[in-house]
Amino acid sequence: MTAVAVGGLDSRVVGRERSLLRRLRYVGVPAAVAIACAAMYLYVQSQELDNIESRIINARVIRTAAFEQIEIALWATALTLVVAVPLGIALTRPWARRVTPIIIALANIGQGVPAIGLLFFIYIVLIRNGSTAAILGMAIYAVLPVLRGTMVGLQQVDRGVVKAARGMGMSKRSVLFRVEMPLAVPILLTGVRTALVLTVATAVLAAFIGGGTFGELIIGGQAQGRPLAVAVGSLGAATLAILADWIGGIAEDLLRPKGL
């Protein structure tokens, strides 16, 4: 809105179009999700649930599953940020030029390994706690997008801007924090958003190692031949992933520095 107020004619028109589209997205996404969930609710209500089904499909189980999934995703994303952002900054410094390709290769492997395999490996070899193992696994899985977002974000900063900043006597440190990082934010946030969606979506795998989440409804329903449970679990997981993406989108809009 402020951008619209100070913009010239061109940016004002573009800004208006963009803000219209944005508002549509802000409202449309949760509305669509709500409609889907309501439809599922009504459908389940209309069905005669047998004993097993009513044990899997009830408010308490669904609530627990949602919280578990959100918890794992949030911790995993937080862990990823703490590791990947500083690492990304370090790897774009001139002194790290030699090790950068090696670390990038490692991060690529992290994402290349099948998530489920990674999860079992961590669970069996390292941590015998389902949730914790899942958090670690998801975090490793999500490092790459954040790392890449940080590095690309920093690398695309106009060299002229950095040169001017250094030439005016800003220290390397303040150039990083007051110029490079703010200008890297939009791309960095895209990486974070990807990581968030990735962890929320893949967190269902935690069910395999006793980590709960909507995966439990899916696996349980599958094992016991109850497709309705599978459907409810899938919708729950999808809802969380879509909402995570939605929140990520809003965060990108809000945190993007003005003037970019």
Residue 138 binds another protein, judged by CB under 8 A: no
Residue 47 binds another protein, judged by CB under 8 A: no
| Cα–Cα–Cα angle for 256, 32, 17, rounded to 5 degrees | 40
Beta carbon nearer to another protein, 60 or 159 = 159
Determine contact, residues 218/143, Cβ cutoff 8 Å.
no
Residue 183 binds another protein, judged by CB under 8 A: yes
Q: Which of residues 17-46 bind another protein (CB under 8 A)?
A: none
Determine contact, residues 83/139, Cβ cutoff 8 Å.
yes
Spell out the residues 6+ positions from residue 237 whose beta carbon is closer than 8 angstroms to its own: 69, 200, 201, 203, 204, 213, 214, 215, 218
Q: How far apart are CA 55 and CA 185, in angstroms?
A: 45
Residue 179 binds another protein, judged by CB under 8 A: yes
Hey, how many other C-beta atoms are within 10 angstroms of the C-beta on 159? 9
Chain-centroid distance of CA 114 in Å reads 18
Residue 162 binds another protein, judged by CB under 8 A: yes
Residue 166 Cβ vs another protein, minimum distance, rounded to whole Å: 6
Residue 259 binds another protein, judged by CB under 8 A: yes
Residue 244 binds another protein, judged by CB under 8 A: no
Residue 94 binds another protein, judged by CB under 8 A: no
Size of the site for another protein (CB under 8 A): 25
Beta carbon nearer to another protein, 23 or 166 = 166
Beta carbon nearer to another protein, 50 or 158 = 158
User: Judged by CB under 8 A, which of 94, 95, 114, 169 binds another protein?
Assistant: 169
Residue 57 binds another protein, judged by CB under 8 A: no
User: Judged by CB under 8 A, which of 32, 116, 161, 223 binds another protein?
Assistant: 161
From residue 74, alpha-carbon distances to 53, 138, 241 in Å are: 29, 10, 12
User: Judged by CB under 8 A, which of 23, 63, 97, 166 binds another protein?
Assistant: 166
Chain-centroid distance of CA 155 in Å reads 22
Residue 168 Cβ vs another protein, minimum distance, rounded to whole Å: 5
Hey, how many other C-beta atoms are within 10 angstroms of the C-beta on 17? 10
Q: How far apart are CA 59 and CA 49, in angstroms?
A: 14
Backbone angles phi, psi at 169, to 5 degrees: 95, 20
- DSSP helix/strand/coil, 92: helix
Residue 114 binds another protein, judged by CB under 8 A: no
Determine contact, residues 56/226, Cβ cutoff 8 Å.
yes
Residue 206 Cβ vs another protein, minimum distance, rounded to whole Å: 39
Beta carbon nearer to another protein, 41 or 177 = 177
Residue 167 binds another protein, judged by CB under 8 A: yes
Residue 255 binds another protein, judged by CB under 8 A: no
| Residues binding another protein (CB under 8 A) | 6-8, 11, 158-171, 179, 182-183, 257-260
